[in-house]
A and B are shown apart, each in its own frame.
Chain A
Amino acid sequence: MKNDTTEAVLLEQNRIMTRRRFVGLSGASLAVLMFGGTLAGCAGGDEAPAEGESKQDAPAESASTDTTAADSAAADVDFADWDAVLEAAKGQTVTWYGWGGDEARNNWINTVLAPALKEKYDVTLELVGMDINDVLTQLSGEMQAGVEKGSIDFIWINGENFYSCKENGYLWGPFTDYLPNFNDYIDPESPEVLYDFGSPTEGYECPYGKAQLQMWYDSKAISDPPTTVDAFKAFCEQHKGQVTYPEPGDFVGTAFISCLIAGVIGKEEFEKLSSMSEPTEESVLEIVQPGLDYLRELNPYLWKEGTTFPADSPTVATMYADGELVLNMGYGAPQELVETGQLPESTRSFIFDSGTVGNSNFMAIAANAPHKAAALVAINEVVSPEMQLSIYEDLSGISVLDMTKLPEEDQQAFADVPLGETQIPLDELLAHRVSEASGPVIPILEKLWLEQVAQA
């Protein structure tokens, strides 16, 4: 018994020694890991660790020496001299951030655009597909931390996201004047180039593609699609519970209610919204009230009697593909979906006689882009007649080029592209194009919809 206790005491003493060591070691590692990331991150950015950041690029690239050499050259590149830009871009790897959920577009970029850039200009294009909100989070994080050489070179962007990035000084520009193809083939005075959802682009973004809302259905199930708002209401009554739209807030949902409102109040009245720079709830309501009344009257015939709406357009697309809905809508024709067998061959598109909303999407360069020259080269290539034609052929995207500025044979090439069964001819689309409400109007419109239609 006595032996036991002495041994225990001995052990106890023994352990006090190790205890200190343990507390020191594990306590320190714990504290560093736990709080290091959390707390240090939460306290804003006041120091600019330029040397720290330059490290991050080095291990990622195989041709790191080339890149750094090109980087230092890029600092004093005269961007107005296109040959100098081409020279500086040589050997650079440029990253393009944007929405990555479109398989066809990702494939086009990786198999058509990227090889062309590599071959013609020795520029490697790295596509980073992610949600646009995540791109913006990353960009703002880097900018706030004062990173001088960020990870993003250029971004696929438009609308409110562009507006907020430009306001915060996250974008580099104006740069469109540097691009030969922009100067040669794009009409700089076109409202779709000058304005992006009502906010002036001022050369901080270059058009990438145009999109216009259209609706589609299965012609085996439906004989004549509703091309006016009255016919649409009758259509909803006829297919009770089989029609709905994504909740506005989703960009397709907002665009679709915009089309219906424009159908009720008329195109001219609706386009007043696209020039409003400082809208108030009252001024918007004054214009759209009849449209909201119409939407409220639709509710009883919609899916779940309009008591709830699908949260986003992918949900609606899934419901349509599964046969739960008879109508779907989106920017651009569903040609790709038909060709890959996701939708039946009998799928057809239509637009309202009163028009559907359209907008442009753009490419912008990040203020802290490490490879600005290569970004310019890549953007210039995207707006070349050759690539725009390829986008039109492969992705059925509407070109941003001014057709009248193109050489004869290029115009012919565009005209010769065969239209898919689901595609609406370009001139018909453009003839029925309604300008989207301006950036600041959109949240107000969504709020009014929520108050007057969803919660009515």
Chain B
Amino acid sequence: MSGQEPEVEAARAASAGTEGPAGGGRPRRCRRRKRNGAAWALVALQALCVVGPVAIIVLWAFTSAWPWPLLFPETFTTRGVEELFGPSQRLGEVLATSVGIALACALLTVVVATMAAAALSRYRFCGRDVARFAVLVPFLIPATVFAMGVQVAFLRAGLSGTVVGVVVCHAIVALPYAALIMVDAMQAAGSRLEDQARLCGAGPVRVWATVTAPTLAPALLSAASMSYILSFSQYFLTLLVGAGKVKTLALVMFPYLSSGDRTIASAYGIVFLAATLAVFLLFEVLLRRQVSREIDYFNG
């Protein structure tokens, strides 16, 4: 244990810089002073790379044909919108399923990942390295092979075709990402603050609520939003485990993407983007702002 102390110290020092916009108050201020034309150009380029393609998707959602050499489409259609809100699709239902599954998956993943990360980063036990490797296993197995195995296993367990089954299998896919984030964050944060709290007489629950959770909050949020996005964009796994009965947005959108119907695919794409962004913003902006106030208390 004592051999680890210097490492933890170093990692902790480094973490002040890596904790991103939330924790890194000082580096940000430095950058602000150095802001100049080149930086603006880079920002503009970045924005162009993101906004450009999105703008094209928005245009396509209302365009019936956009042949070469037209710079802008000349024929417009409401076909995409009609498809979204038409009688044959239940957009609200599909969207609710997608967001619900993704949120449940994010919650489940973060809980499991935090527990796993705590075990891996704070305690030594027999087979720890094996367990650490096991966390990465879903990374290493090709998605298709993995999906087939999961399908058969879930069929036996009676989870196939149920929302619960889909949430659990999404969590398996998201777990390595979330666990990696949490392991790093836990190692960087170290256990000294917790030790201090314990020495001051706080019980384990209170330590978790008042020290551990706020310290790890940025990482928890990152892990949650990562899991959310992974779950939201799953196609193949949802299809196999959901047996076509659990209809998520990705599932409804995919046939149009693969059949080359760009108008409808773009219309779904916009909904997809909006739904992802909405929750992402919730995670990143609102919650993180709230959390960063508490963090300053530990850093300052």
The chain A residues found within 8 Å of chain B, CB to CB, are 7, 11-12, 14-15, 18-19, 22-23, 25-27, 29-31, 33-42, 44-45, 47, 49, 52-53, 55-57, 59-60, 95, 97, 99-103, 106-107, 109-111, 128-131, 134, 137-138, 141-142, 144-145, 147, 151-152, 314-315, 317-318, 321-324, 340-344
> When the two chains form their complex, are residues A7 and B199 in contact, meaning their CB atoms are under 8 A apart?
yes
Which residue of A has the minimal Cβ distance to B236?
A134
Bound Cα distance A11, B155 (Å): 47
The B interface is mostly helix, strand or loop, or mixed, namely: helix
- A137 in contact with B148 given A30-B134, A111-B87, A344-B65 (CB within 8 Å): yes
B interface vs A, CB < 8 Å? Answer: 1, 64-69, 75, 77, 79, 83, 86-88, 112, 115-116, 118-119, 122-123, 125, 131, 134-135, 137-138, 141, 146, 148-162, 168-169, 171-172, 175, 195, 198-199, 204, 236, 239-240, 243-245, 251, 254-256, 258-264
Knowing A26-B118, A33-B112, A138-B243, say if A53 contacts B262 (CB, 8 Å). no
CB B15 to nearest CB in A, in angstroms, measures 22
Residues in chain B near residue A11, CB distance under 8 A: 195, 198-199
4 tightest A-B CB contacts, nearest first: A41-B149, A101-B259, A314-B260, A341-B64
- Whether the Cβ atoms of B158 and A52 lie closer than 8 Å is yes
Known contacts A323-B68, A342-B65: does B255 contact A101 (CB below 8 Å)? yes
A318 and B195 alpha carbons, distance in the complex (Å): 63
Q: How far is the CB of B250 from chain A (nearest CB, A)?
A: 11
The contact sample of 5 A-B pairs, CB cut-off 8 A, is A38-B141, A38-B150, A52-B156, A95-B245, A342-B263
A52-B158, A106-B88 known; A131-B123 Cβ under 8 A: no
B131 touches A30 (CB 8 A): yes
Contact status of A142 and B261, CB under 8 A, knowing A22-B123, A110-B87: no
B119:A27 contact, CB within 8 angstroms: yes
**Contact partners of A33 in chain B: CB under 8 A:** 112, 168, 171-172, 175
Contact across chains for A49 and B156 when beta carbons are under 8 A apart: yes
Contact between chains at B68 and A37 (CB < 8 Å): no
Question: Do A317 and B153 contact each other (CB < 8 Å), given the known contacts A49-B158, A341-B64, A341-B75?
Answer: no
Q: How far is the CA of A142 from the CA of B162 in the complex (A)?
A: 15
A23-B259 CB under 8 A given contacts A60-B161, A138-B244: no
B156/A107 in contact, CB under 8 A:
no
In the bound complex, residues from chain B placing their C-beta under 8 Å from that of A22 are 115, 118-119, 122-123
Complex Cα spacing A59 to B152, Å: 20
Contact (A103, B264) CB under 8 Å given A11-B198, A34-B138, A130-B255: yes
Assess the A322–B153 pair: CB atoms within 8 A: no
* CA–CA, A343 and B264, complex, Å: 15
Contact between A130 and B251, CB atoms less than 8 A apart: yes
Provided the pairs A110-B88, A343-B65 are in contact, do residues A26 and B119 lie with their beta carbons within 8 angstroms?
yes
What residues on A are CB-neighbors of B251 within 8 Å? 130
Question: Chain B contacts of A60 at CB under 8 A?
Answer: 161-162, 245
Residues on B with beta carbons closer than 8 Å to the beta carbon of A102: 259
Alpha-carbon distance A29/B69, docked complex (angstroms): 58
Name which residue of chain A comes closest to B240, CB basis: A138
- Closest beta carbon of chain A to B269's beta carbon, Å: 15
Known: A22-B122, A34-B138, A34-B172. 15 other contacts (CB 8 A): A7-B199, A15-B123, A29-B112, A31-B131, A33-B172, A37-B146, A40-B149, A41-B149, A41-B152, A53-B155, A131-B255, A138-B151, A145-B151, A151-B160, A152-B243
In contact, B123 and A30 (Cβ under 8 angstroms) = no
B67 to chain A: closest residue by CB = A323
User: Most chain-B CB neighbours within 10 Å: which of A18, A97, A134, A318?
Assistant: A134
- A104 smallest CB distance to B (angstroms): 10
**Known contacts being A56-B161, A151-B245, is A26 close to B116, with CB within 8 Å?**
yes
Chain B, residue nearest A142 (CB): B155
Cβ–Cβ < 8 Å partners of B115 in chain A: 22, 25-26, 29-30
Bound CA–CA A261/B251 (angstroms): 38
Query: With A38-B138, A101-B259 as given contacts, are A322 and B66 in contact (CB-CB < 8 Å)?
Result: yes
A41-B148, A56-B162 given as contacts; is B258 within 8 A of A131 (CB)?
Answer: yes
